[in-house]
Amino acid sequence: MSRTLVLNATYEPLGVITERRALILVLNHRATMIEESGSVLHFSGGEIELPSVIRLNKFVRIPYRHAVPLSRRAIFARDGGRCVYCTAPATSIDHVIPRSRGGGHNWENVVSACHKCNHLKADKQLKEIGWRLRQLPREPVGAAWRILGTGQTNARWLQYLEPFGVAAATA
């Protein structure tokens, strides 16, 4: 079963639900379909297009924001799926300051890396091998990370996630 991206009335990404639940929200006039999924639900009276993206008709207040969970998927997404040292496709997670040297497992010390760079770097510090980061790793911000954290993305959703903190390379 495919999933549907739910946007707030303000277009802020809120979450991911099943197409069927999304359809019920639309039929109950609680949401509006703004992107069709391309698949159709057949029922006795006819057929109806299933939504890929819906937008709530009434604004929903989000009481608080969770920090973005530190997962392999989220780290790859933040770093555009590329090795931060050589831009090859990322295949592993590297601790900038090696864990054996006291480096933490946190957003500021993890980056996506390719196998080759990870192997070359091993337990060395960047300055020992003359490498440097183009930018300092940070915790990602933006509502789009609620969606990325679910691990479900869809090319149709990209244009709705981009204004909320997701780079085009990610989805």
In this chain, which of 16, 33, 83, 143 binds Zn ion, going by CB under 5 A?
83
Rg over alpha carbons for the chain, rounded to the nearest Å, is: 20
Q: Is 56 in the site for Zn ion (CB under 5 A)?
A: no
Task: Provide the pairing of β-strand 110-113 with 92-95.
Answer: antiparallel
Q: Please provide the DSSP assignment of 38-101 as one string.
A: EEEEEETTEEEEEEEEEEESS-------PPPP--HHHHHHHTTTB-TTT-SBP-EEEESS-GGG
Q: Is 53 in the site for Zn ion (CB under 5 A)?
A: no
Q: Rounded distance, CA 15 to CA 13, Å?
A: 6
Q: Is 166 in the site for Zn ion (CB under 5 A)?
A: no
Least Cβ distance, residue 84 to Zn ion (angstroms): 8
Position 163, amino acid: P
Least Cβ distance, residue 88 to Zn ion (angstroms): 5
What residues from 97 to 156 belong to the interface with Zn ion (CB under 5 A)?
114, 117
- Binding span for Zn ion by CB under 5 A among 10-18, 85-93, 147-155, 156-164: 85-93
In this chain, which of 9, 60, 67, 88 binds Zn ion, going by CB under 5 A?
88
Residues that bind Zn ion in the complex, under the rule CB under 5 A: 83, 85-86, 88, 114, 117
